[in-house]
């Protein structure tokens, strides 16, 4: 058993570790709230974009909501374990953080490896949406209009993709491709030569995929940062548990 003087010497260390771990856990808990908010926002605001991706990709907002919920619950448990100074709770907290650390790494690696498949899926679904485009504003048609209007693009590779669709033979290129809605008549949209001056000429696929590629390094950096952040909590939890166990210190 450690001597009283030894225990008095280690008390400030344990108190310091406890304070740092509580601060860490609070930040970790806040990150869970952020994940929840992003997941809900993505489900509400980006559903139209997810409709043109693979069916599995549409689950991304739900994954974020689930991950955010887990992080909030785990952060709450971490605060409780730290305040109690329970060694088994701290060890369990460290184990759960390790599990999340592995999940984040695996998710980042899988996303990076399969990014080209996601792009291929988006291209084929976008081509199919153009082929089946109609004015009844179904989910895919609405997605096409939203992407073209938001990204200032037209078609898959370029605006001429619309010339091979049934919709073009009836009404020309959709108004969502127009640069200026007030100067874009249906007569102009039915004539490819006139339409070229009235609509966006760049295709949407290139803009979307180039954006994905440019953001890939950012996503990788964020994933690495999150993983490192988990390691901090793991180390702090293990250290605090070790000090409490070795010095037989009971915290109130």
The confidence score (pLDDT) of residue 45 equals 67
What pLDDT does 221 receive?
64
Q: Please tell me the predicted confidence (pLDDT) of residue 249.
A: 42
HSE-up of 108 (CA within 13 Å, CB side)? 18
Q: Would you say 233 and 78 are in contact if contact means Cβ atoms under 8 Å apart?
A: yes
What pLDDT tens digit does each residue of the chain (252 aa) get? 445 544 545 677 777 888 888 888 888 888 778 778 877 876 776 666 667 766 656 666 677 778 778 888 988 898 888 888 788 888 898 898 888 888 777 766 776 676 677 777 788 888 888 888 875 567 788 888 888 888 899 989 998 899 888 888 888 888 889 988 888 888 888 888 888 888 998 998 888 777 666 665 655 566 667 667 778 888 888 888 887 777 654 444
Whether the predicted model's global pTM rises above the 0.85 cut: no
- Give, in degrees to the nearest 5, the angle at Cα 59 between 55 and 64: 160
pLDDT of residue 251: 41
Of 42, 76, 45, 34, give the one whose Cα is nearest residue 59.
42
pLDDT at res. 5: 47
Q: What does the pLDDT read at residue 10?
A: 65
Q: Domain boundaries in the chain?
A: 4-250
The predicted structure's pLDDT at residue 197: 87
CB 32 within 8 A of CB 70: yes
């Amino acid at each position: 058993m450690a001597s009283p003087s030894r225990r008095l010497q280690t008390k400030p260390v344990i108190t310091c570790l406890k304070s740092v771990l509580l601060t860490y856990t609070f930040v970790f808990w806040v990150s869970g709230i952020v994940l929840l908010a992003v997941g809900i926002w993505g489900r509400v605001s980006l559903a139209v974009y997810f409709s043109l991706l693979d069916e599995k990709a549409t689950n991304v907002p739900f994954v974020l909501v689930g991950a955010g919920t887990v992080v909030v619950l785990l952060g709450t448990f971490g605060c409780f374990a730290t305040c109690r100074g329970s060694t088994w709770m701290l060890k369990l907290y460290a184990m759960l953080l390790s599990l999340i650390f592995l999940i984040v790494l695996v998710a980042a690696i899988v996303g990076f490896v399969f990014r080209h498949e996601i792009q291929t899926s988006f291209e084929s679904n976008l081509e199919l949406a153009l082929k089946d485009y109609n004015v009844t504003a179904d989910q895919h048609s609405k997605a096409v209009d939203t992407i073209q209007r938001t990204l200032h693009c037209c078609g898959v590779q370029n605006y001429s993709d619309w010339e091979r669709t049934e919709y073009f033979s009836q009404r020309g290129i959709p108004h969502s491709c127009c640069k200026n809605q007030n100067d874009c008549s249906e007569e102009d949209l039915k004539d490819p030569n006139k339409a070229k001056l009235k609509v966006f000429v760049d295709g949407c696929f290139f803009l979307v995929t180039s954006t994905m590629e440019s953001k890939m390094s950012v996503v990788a950096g964020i994933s690495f940062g999150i993983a490192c952040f988990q390691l901090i909590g793991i180390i702090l939890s293990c250290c605090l548990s070790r000090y409490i166990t070795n010095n037989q210190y009971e915290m109130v």
